[in-house]
Structure 1
Amino acid sequence: MLLAKLKRLIPSAVRLRWLLAILIALTIIFWKLVPEVAVAQIQTASPPQQPLQKSKTQTQPVSSSIQPYLDQAIKRVTEFRLDNGLKFIVFERHQAPVISFVTYADVGAVDEPDGKTGMAHFLEHLAFKGTTRIGTTDYKAEKPLLDRLEQLNTQIKAAKADGKQDEVAQLQAEFEQVESQAAKLVKENEFIQIVSQAGGDLNAYTYLDKTVYPYVLPANKLELWMSLESERFLEPEFRREFYKERDVILEERRLRVENSPTGMMGEKFLDTAFKVHPYRRPGIGYEKDIRNLTPKDVQEFFDTHYIPSNLTISIVGDVNPTEVKQLAQIYFGRYPAKPKPIEEIPVEPPQAQIREVTLRLPSQPLYWEGYHRPAVTHPDNAVYDIIGSLLWVGPTSRLYKSLVEQQQLASDVDGDTNTPDNKYPNLIVFLATTASGHTIDELAAALEKEIDKLKTEPVSATELQRVKTQIRAALLDNLNSNMGMARRLSEYEAKTGSWRNSFKYLDEIAAVTPADIQRVTKATFTAENRTIGKLLSQ
């Protein structure tokens, strides 16, 4: 999903440059920490990480050719909230007999306590294992086996701690026998098969701030989705294949981190840039934590965070809002209301001096440079997006033209305006690979010069208009997608308090001035706010 966001700037005839671009892509994937999905893929772009509030400069209207479209779109949106607190957003779009669904859980890796990282991602995997009725041939026979596996897992941990190796071996043998018996009662991927047989697809992904479950189904399968999705979180059975899935996730981590120079560097970089905020931790979790997680841990995490008032469901496509509301009350109205969890996430203190981390691994030299920036709800978010577009988006961007084409110091340049996520203050990050014969220090010095130009030289009207046009085109493309709209509406609702803010973004971009860019650049890109990461060849 995030690969769609990467800038494909490298000439296809140069094989080496393609490989370097892939390395940078892997780095950004690690930072965003999108897990491997154990379900069918939906080929849609990831939810936009766009500015949400008005710029401090005077707002300018979007062009007359776009505003009527936005006005009409807003009129087709219906919203309602069930008595238990669950919010629904329905967007009617009858061009094709299909519907996109997004269940947005306002929970991610940031909500995990230290020592139990990886639960949000783990739960996303387990959410497709089924319920007491789906995914099993005989739950009455399966349940005592799952109970016994939990008991044995606890006993094995205790025996290992006491150094009782003979007892560990005996318990492990019984564990494997019971696990084999339980596996015979599992209807593998039944949940996915039901959706597939109905002509649909589904997916799931976890970020630091959110967990999202998107679906696409034919328009006549609305009630099927209501039944399946409500059942999945009403009576889930997270213990089914729990230990098998744990091994899958551990292998996933090995591939993405331990066996990946960019993965290792990404983890070290974030741990250096953040000192107290959970953004310092990998969304997939630490290996030790994942290995020690229990079904009870995941169930308690689910019970705390997967409550109606913490969920937003958006439905976009060929639907009738009245029917949606009626079915939602029948199926999702069964959820008991619970109070929202109290947020206990520490605030990251201002960075007072430059930070640096260096690793030597068998890899092409890569350079990271990050600066702390405000959360997505800050009034200057549009300015940060403009800065990113000016510097690294596309072959006409400043860094590509200067560092790659003119000075030939870099083989590729890229960046991200919200690393690793955007609900809380985060980082704007630059990435670059060195060209043959040049060093990371040369590249860093050239990057600093380009950043300084933004501080001292006002951006021309022509260049500013070009990047605004690029951003507008990307946004309109997103709005024309059922899934893109479903994801956008739910995310804006959860992060800003209203889906309506998603339609204000063009005005935010239009309002950005050269003076705004200079002001934000001077305040953000300072030496004391800088974190540097150097991945050097071994």
Structure 2
Amino acid sequence: MREQNAMVSSRFSAIATTLALVLIGITSLAQPVWARETLPSAQQPEQSIQPYLERFSKGITEFTLENGLKFIVLERHQSPTIAFHTYADVGGVDEPDGQTGVAHYLEHLAFKGTERIGTTDYTAEKPLLEKLDQLFDQIQVAKAKGETETAAQLQAEFNQVSEQAAGYVKQNEMGQLVNQFGGVGLNATTSSDATRYFYSLPSNKLELWMSMESERFLQPVFREFYKEKEVILEERRLRTDNSPIGQMIEAFLDTAFTTHPYRRPVIGYAKDLRTLTRQNVQDFYDTHYGPSNLTIAIVGDVKPKQVKRLAKAYFGQYTAKAKPPRVTTVEPKQTEPRSVTRYLDTQPWYLEGFHRPDITDPDNAVYDMIGSLLSRGRTSRLYKSLVETQQVALSAQGGGSFPNDKYPNLMLFYALTAPGHTVDDVGTALEQEINRLKTEQVTAAELERVKTQARAGLLRSLRSNGGMASLLTSYEVKTGSWQNLFAELDKIAAVTTEDVQRVAQATFTPENRTVGRLLSTAQKPQAKSDETQKEGDKGETVQGEIPSPNQPTK
């Protein structure tokens, strides 16, 4: 399983790269016309692409079961495979206070099986799982009371029962079944906004997927809960606690957001992970995994009528539930600059973020174009200026939506400082490029270049069954209709140089800026005395207004 936003290097790569390209051959002569057409080149005029997309969308069938579970089916017969994508409209932002990480925890446990899969005898296993829950609660109470001896005795009993329960577990049986029947890519991701489960199978295994996936979400058994707790805590140590940039991102989000749950790490805080119970996960599942909160895309060598018949038979067993409550917290408008500094054993990094609206905003495409102009690849302004010309940074990247885009979020830019230069050198150079967008209109040729990149990225994703399934579900849930995916090119094409300057002037203001400085411990200032030492100097984080990039960092 992969957890988005916890592994910062993966997140940075995801911001800077396009969707994976998976080419499939066109071999069947019995396909509908829309499915037989060759994709147009990304270099062709925009007018040649939209008609193709319109014909492409005619191959999509959608239906909703009586219990509220929605299916989107794209019929593509180019290869005898099917990509399946289950999109749960729940992520880190939906977690109760004190239970951060529960969404990601549940994603891990969703691979542990059901009452039939993953166990040799669930009837015998079940009371042992319940006994472990009781012992865990008793251990926590004993520790809270300072009853060390009692806690140790309970822990010994816990270990013994855990070994007994492990004797009934059939390790990774779900994965083995998928592999046995020719499946590939069994995985899942958790982000701030959503949890996604996906894999591909040969087209003659459609009913197998229906059976396994419906059972996985109808009768999940959260076995090996306490073993997985240690796995996730180790994941957090690897990706955050022992990672300087991981710690920086966590501190940066906590500074840029004051109230919205985007400020919390998707992997969760260690103190919350240690105290999470299996009942917490069960309650979260009961609240957020109702059929009306799931959207499933099936893309590939399928017949929509067969999909609908099997979906009714397998997923129709779900009991209808009301949609869970949505996040209503609104991040207050930032009215003054903010900054956070961390001193760790690391090379210096510089981060800068600006608040922006969510994916449904009319200017969403403009923000995407600005993000591409500044930071997409080696032709971007930041790379050419900071890395190639001024040589103040070893890398300079960023993106238009961080940590995600369902709610108002951040445009984030970041750079690894080059030897012989400071983060303030990077900050000054970055400010110069941002100011250029505010004071000078981009050229038509430069804007057209990033539009072409955006069109190419979309077209590449259309060639992949898995990429297509991911996009269809994401646009359906976040924007209200999968058809908005095909309207995206029109919005991109409509962006003007005046739009870029207008949005840049409104967004890139000092009061809307948050700066993060990750400095080496050698750069940490020494306190003059205990009486004059500031609170920020006692730890590793200093928050406050942003000093001028030309002034030394406090």
Please give the TM-score of this superposition, normalised by the length of structure 2: 0.87
Q: Assess if the C-alpha contact under 8 Å between 2:348 and 2:520 holds in 1.
A: yes
| Greater Rg over alpha carbons, structure | 2
* Equivalent in the alignment of 1:127: 110
* Equivalent in the alignment of 1:318: 301
Shift of 1:312: 0.2
Q: Assess if the C-alpha contact under 8 Å between 1:62 and 1:507 holds in 2.
A: no
SS of residue paired to 1:185: coil
* Equivalent in the alignment of 1:346: 329
Deviates more, 1:310-319 or 1:430-439: 430-439
Q: Assess if the C-alpha contact under 8 Å between 1:27 and 1:262 holds in 2.
A: no
2: CA distance between counterparts of 1:248 and 1:176? 17
1:411 aligns with 2:403: no
Would the alpha carbon gap of residues 254 and 418 (structure 1) be closer, same or farther in structure 2, given more than 3 Å must change?
same
SS of residue paired to 1:534: strand
Q: Assess if the C-alpha contact under 8 Å between 2:2 and 2:190 holds in 1.
A: no
SS of residue paired to 2:332: coil
* Equivalent in the alignment of 2:217: 233
Shift of 1:431: 0.5
SS of residue paired to 1:504: helix
How well do the aligned residues superpose, as a CA RMSD in angstroms?
2.1
* Equivalent in the alignment of 2:101: 118
Q: Which AA in structure 2 matches 1:388?
A: G
Would the alpha carbon gap of residues 146 and 29 (structure 1) be closer, same or farther in structure 2, given more than 3 Å must change?
farther
Shift of 1:346: 1.0
Deviations 1:191-224 (A, max 9, x none): 1110110110211000000000011100000000
* Equivalent in the alignment of 1:51: none
2: CA distance between counterparts of 1:94 and 1:160? 60
Would the alpha carbon gap of residues 374 and 537 (structure 1) be closer, same or farther in structure 2, given more than 3 Å must change?
same
Query: How many corresponding residue pairs?
Result: 496
1:214 to 189, 194, 198: 198
Shift of 1:26: 5.1
1: CA distance between counterparts of 2:256 and 2:122? 47
Q: Which AA in structure 1 matches 2:284?
A: F
Q: Which AA in structure 1 matches 2:199?
A: Y
1:295 aligns with 2:278: yes
2: CA distance between counterparts of 1:473 and 1:224? 35
Paired residues for 1:29-108 under 5 Å = 44=20, 63-108=46-91
Would the alpha carbon gap of residues 288 and 127 (structure 1) be closer, same or farther in structure 2, given more than 3 Å must change?
same
Q: Which AA in structure 2 matches 1:389?
A: S
Would the alpha carbon gap of residues 473 and 27 (structure 1) be closer, same or farther in structure 2, given more than 3 Å must change?
closer
1:439 aligns with 2:431: no
* Equivalent in the alignment of 1:484: 467
1:430 aligns with 2:413: yes
Shift of 1:470: 1.1
Structure with greater contact order relative to length (CA < 8 Å, sep ≥ 6): 1
SS of residue paired to 1:499: coil
1: CA distance between counterparts of 2:360 and 2:380? 26
2: CA distance between counterparts of 1:90 and 1:530? 42
* Equivalent in the alignment of 2:539: none
Q: Which structure 1 segments of 5+ residues have no match? A: 6-22, 33-42, 47-60
* Equivalent in the alignment of 2:132: 149
SS of residue paired to 2:46: coil
* Equivalent in the alignment of 1:513: 496
* Equivalent in the alignment of 2:548: none
Q: Which AA in structure 1 matches 2:209?
A: W
1:255 to 238, 241, 266: 238
Q: Assess if the C-alpha contact under 8 Å between 2:400 and 2:410 holds in 1.
A: yes
1:25 aligns with 2:9: yes
1:470 aligns with 2:438: no
Would the alpha carbon gap of residues 499 and 134 (structure 1) be closer, same or farther in structure 2, given more than 3 Å must change?
same
1:383 aligns with 2:369: no
1:536 to 506, 519, 522: 519
Q: Assess if the C-alpha contact under 8 Å between 1:26 and 1:262 holds in 2.
A: no
* Equivalent in the alignment of 1:20: none
2: CA distance between counterparts of 1:273 and 1:358? 13
1:181 aligns with 2:164: yes
Q: Which structure 2 segments of 5+ residues have no match? A: 23-43, 522-554
1:333 aligns with 2:316: yes
* Equivalent in the alignment of 1:396: 379
1:193 aligns with 2:181: no
* Equivalent in the alignment of 2:37: none
2: CA distance between counterparts of 1:458 and 1:231? 56
Shift of 1:63: 2.5
2: CA distance between counterparts of 1:420 and 1:312? 22
Q: Assess if the C-alpha contact under 8 Å between 1:30 and 1:263 holds in 2.
A: no
Shift of 1:44: 4.8
Shift of 1:24: 7.6
* Equivalent in the alignment of 1:169: 152
2: CA distance between counterparts of 1:105 and 1:3? 14
Would the alpha carbon gap of residues 62 and 80 (structure 1) be closer, same or farther in structure 2, given more than 3 Å must change?
farther
1: CA distance between counterparts of 2:95 and 2:471? 25
Q: Assess if the C-alpha contact under 8 Å between 1:102 and 1:313 holds in 2.
A: yes
1: CA distance between counterparts of 2:287 and 2:10? 33
* Equivalent in the alignment of 1:451: 434
